Structure 1
Amino acid sequence: MTKHDHHIGAALRRELGDWRLWWSRAIVMSFAAAAGLTVVGFTWLTEQALALFSGWRDIRPWLPLLWTPACTAAIVWVTRRYAPGTAGSGIPQVMASLDSAVDAGHRGLFVSLRLAVAKICLTAWGLLAGLSLGREGPCVQIAAGVMLAARRWLPHRSSVTDHGLLVAGGAAGIAAAFNTPLAGVMFAIEELSRTPEQRNSGLIVAAIVLAGLIAVSISGNGTYFGIIHVSDVGWPLLLPGLLVAVSSGLAGGLFSRLLVISLGGRSRDWFSRMRQRRPVLFAGLCGLAVAAIGLATAGATFGSGYSHTRDMLAGTDSTPAVYVLFKFIATWLTTWSGVPAGIFAPSLAIGAALGNDVALLLHYPNAPTLIALGMAGFLAAATQAPLTSFIIVMEMVDGHEMVLSLMACALAASVISRVLSHPLYPSLAKLQLMRLGPPADPDRTDHAAAPPRG
């Protein structure tokens, strides 16, 4: 037997003889499947909630003026009283839980199975209220909470860490929400995994892909907004595409800057002071403004914007050009109110409308092409995650010739956004870390950890 054969035999014995290794793999994959199923159930629940709201609005068009502000105030009260860790998107919470300053005892402030259940209920309630929010960011926190629950079942000396479970869960949420496993993997690389674990990277990727495949097998192989059919891409696209990239970069950068400033609490304007002193009342006023905008646009700005985006792609939507502005404001107010809310789907809707407006302005014959560019550009600018944004939209496009155009638009819009705003999710993650309390005084001899709040 050669030395090489001896090494192969030793590797096989080590691989097949360690029961802890195989038990860890089985646990991780089982919880990845559970995370995928949870996201599928959450998706169904949010769709039913928004359908109920739409049905009620059809019967009583004035109802949102009462229902939406009342629900918004109630959601914020419940969130602050019982589950403060669920406020906002959910992505900053997962990023905060991955910070080296957060130990296992404090991680439950940001991600846990209890918070995942609360996030499901409160986000669905927000769509039942007609607020302009998405479910994809919440899916990240929900799936991460499910995956983190696997740690109690892992062997004591398992090489799978909390960091690996959180990265796998957060990315699995994106993969299952959009039916795009590749986007989930890229999201893990681009946003979550700052210090990748080489030893378990294959297992983490497998868990992400499995969660996405679970969603595909149940929801079907269709993409989030269906298939975007584009014609041949050539030089005539250069000027319209450049206009979409610049406008989506500017709009997305402004959107990100507004969120960072308004949610940061450092502004001293009257609205920010009121949000700090009377958060429930402020939430109710935000809900009233969202309801008024929804009524002014004949209901176009209510919900995630999913149906209007599909109609735009199909060429059957008659939404006016001001939809971009109104959806922008409604989404910002919804997020500012403090309810659990994601921005992915509304950002895609805003970007789609922006691309559609450019197509109408320039009389471009193939509007879905510019709509796709607008979706990738605005999402990349708002989140400053261009690769994830590009892949999400890429998997909706029927035509490989547009791949480079989508990538260029997402990268250009992200660069423009970085001039206008700090990265959104890292900035919000820093705000989440403030919930740990002030750092310990290094001159003191007792370094007791700050007790968790909320």
Structure 2
Amino acid sequence: MARIIGVAILGGLAAAQFARLCDGAMHWHSRLYAAAPLASLVLLPVGFPIAAWLTRRFAPEAAGSGIPQVIAAAEERWHGRWGGQRVTLKTAVWKVALSAALLVCGASIGREGPTVQVVAGVMRTLTRGLKGGPGRRAIIIAGGAAGVAAAFNTPIAGVVFALEELAKSFERRTHTTVIMVVVIAGLASYALQGDYAYFGVLNGASDLKTAWLAAPFIGVVGGLAGGVFSRALSLTIGPDQNPLTRWRRAHPIIFATLCGGIAAGAAFASGGITFGAGYAEAKSLLQGHPGRGLGLAGWKFVATLAAAASGAPGGLFAPSLAIGAGLGAAFAHTGLAAMAGRDAVVLGMCSYLSGVVQAPLTSAVILMEMTRNPGLVGPLMLAALLARASSAWVMPEPIYHALSRSWRLAPG
């Protein structure tokens, strides 16, 4: 048990340092863009194929978000066999390095999904050969949950994510391990980052009446938009065969270059609001500053889909929150149901995230903990559940579980 506690501390510290590295990478890109706006756009069509080639050559299991790899590793039950490099320290190192490099290029990616794979890799690698105690599956699930908790500074959401997304069934011992690892990793991350709210502490009370009225509208629209994103991503990089996936697999570097060109085009057309994870844009809308609601949502949608389809590392959580913030702000500007602006933004973030990942409990709890606004929990849950239902009309299978089929071991 002492070894697990020690490794959990290391996992939390790794998540905190990864967050700092990504923040620094986005800062460097901002400086490059300010110095040479047009020239810096070239970084995307150049950086995507380089990152895709490095990933394919040295760490294929580091591609994409990383959550599908963790799901596949957790759900399979092997006997005396190690399942490749999906949740190992080597994959974690490549994930960190390539994600940060892509953020320097301005890619529309997040660090939260990659953090799940990084912490799961740290936990699994450093506890291999452990006699007694929790098994391999429990360790992987606990590490992934701790990754969510440390990335968002949301410990409750980490546990909910483990229950809802990483495991279809839970043993009693797994419950205990997950909660313990999440708490310890969260404390380690807290020691480095302090008590911060992901988007800052929001001032002012919510108007619950308008929030309840807004939730159904925003939930359905956000869920449909998230479902369209997931469907498009699954058709591009999913395990099922179609002409596009066959061409992408035959020409992966050319495809990544095209994705980089599309991302650069979106950045140029939007005036640069699609760069990076989208923290600044979402935070600005949450704090009541004027912003381009539909413009942010639409162009960020394109840039994030291009990055996710490129085959390089990068997560969906933070860009999805930015897209949802844009959708919510657009609703607020319509005056429909006399919506309060900030509440509409929060509901939009929750709805779109739930539509993309189809994990309504995780989405609602993440937004509740991130914004430190428990009063909105009812409208958030309503919006998230409606978003999940409407997303399923477009994308019947949750995107992470659909993509996880590509990472399962062949029999034998």
Same fold (TM over 0.5): yes
**1:415/1:116 CA distance change after superposition, 3 Å:** same
Structure 1 residue runs of 5 or longer lacking an equivalent are: 1-24, 440-448, 450-454
The corresponding residue for 2:386 is: 412
State the shift of 1:131 in Å. Answer: 0.7
1:287 maps onto 2:260 in alignment: yes
1:177 maps onto 2:151 in alignment: yes
State the shift of 1:209 in Å. Answer: 1.3
Equivalents in 1 of 2:293, 2:135: separation in Å?
Answer: 50
Q: Which of 1 and 2 has greater Rg?
A: 1
Equivalents in 2 of 1:136, 1:401: separation in Å?
Answer: 25
Alignment of 1:227-306 (within 5 A): 227-229=201-203, 231-264=205-238, 266=240, 268-269=242-243, 271-306=244-279
Task: Give SS of 1:312's match.
Answer: helix
Equivalents in 2 of 1:184, 1:328: separation in Å?
Answer: 25
Task: Give SS of 2:170's match.
Answer: coil
**1:304/1:100 CA distance change after superposition, 3 Å:** same
Q: 1:430 aligns with which of 390, 405, 411?
A: 405
**1:401/1:160 CA distance change after superposition, 3 Å:** closer
Report if aligned partners of 1:190, 1:385 keep a CA contact under 8 Å in 2.
yes
State the shift of 1:317 in Å. Answer: 4.0
1:191 maps onto 2:173 in alignment: no
**1:366/1:279 CA distance change after superposition, 3 Å:** same
Equivalents in 2 of 1:200, 1:266: separation in Å?
Answer: 32
The corresponding residue for 1:309 is: 282
Equivalents in 1 of 2:80, 2:229: separation in Å?
Answer: 34
Alignment of 1:75-224 (within 5 A): 75-100=51-76, 102=78, 105-152=81-128, 154=130, 156=131, 158-199=132-173, 201-224=175-198
What is the CA deviation profile of residues 41-80 of structure 1, one whole-angstrom value per residue up to 9, with x for unaligned ones? 1111111111111111111111233221111110000000
- State the TM-score, normalized to the length of structure 1: 0.86
Task: Give SS of 1:98's match.
Answer: helix
Equivalents in 2 of 1:414, 1:38: separation in Å?
Answer: 32
**1:102/1:284 CA distance change after superposition, 3 Å:** farther
Task: Give SS of 2:116's match.
Answer: helix
**1:29/1:265 CA distance change after superposition, 3 Å:** closer
RMSD: 1.8
**1:401/1:66 CA distance change after superposition, 3 Å:** closer
Task: Give SS of 1:224's match.
Answer: coil
State the shift of 1:368 in Å. Answer: 0.8
State the shift of 1:186 in Å. Answer: 0.7
Report if aligned partners of 1:231, 1:369 keep a CA contact under 8 Å in 2.
no
Q: 2:300 aligns with which of 306, 327, 331?
A: 327
Q: Which moved more, 1:117-126 or 1:210-219?
A: 210-219
- The one-letter code sitting in structure 1 at the alignment partner of 2:403 is L
1:343 maps onto 2:316 in alignment: yes
Equivalents in 2 of 1:232, 1:199: separation in Å?
Answer: 39
- The one-letter code sitting in structure 1 at the alignment partner of 2:398 is P
State the shift of 1:246 in Å. Answer: 1.2
State the shift of 1:405 in Å. Answer: 0.8
Equivalents in 1 of 2:216, 2:165: separation in Å?
Answer: 26
Report if aligned partners of 2:357, 2:398 keep a CA contact under 8 Å in 1.
yes
The corresponding residue for 1:33 is: 9
Task: Give SS of 2:42's match.
Answer: helix
**1:101/1:234 CA distance change after superposition, 3 Å:** closer
- The one-letter code sitting in structure 2 at the alignment partner of 1:343 is L
The corresponding residue for 1:63 is: 39
**1:232/1:92 CA distance change after superposition, 3 Å:** closer
What is the CA deviation profile of residues 313-344 of structure 1, one whole-angstrom value per residue up to 9, with x for unaligned ones? 12224325322111111101110111111100
**1:139/1:103 CA distance change after superposition, 3 Å:** farther
**1:184/1:104 CA distance change after superposition, 3 Å:** farther
Report if aligned partners of 1:282, 1:337 keep a CA contact under 8 Å in 2.
yes
Q: Which moved more, 1:323-332 or 1:311-320?
A: 311-320
State the shift of 1:129 in Å. Answer: 1.2
Equivalents in 1 of 2:306, 2:394: separation in Å?
Answer: 20
Report if aligned partners of 1:179, 1:213 keep a CA contact under 8 Å in 2.
no
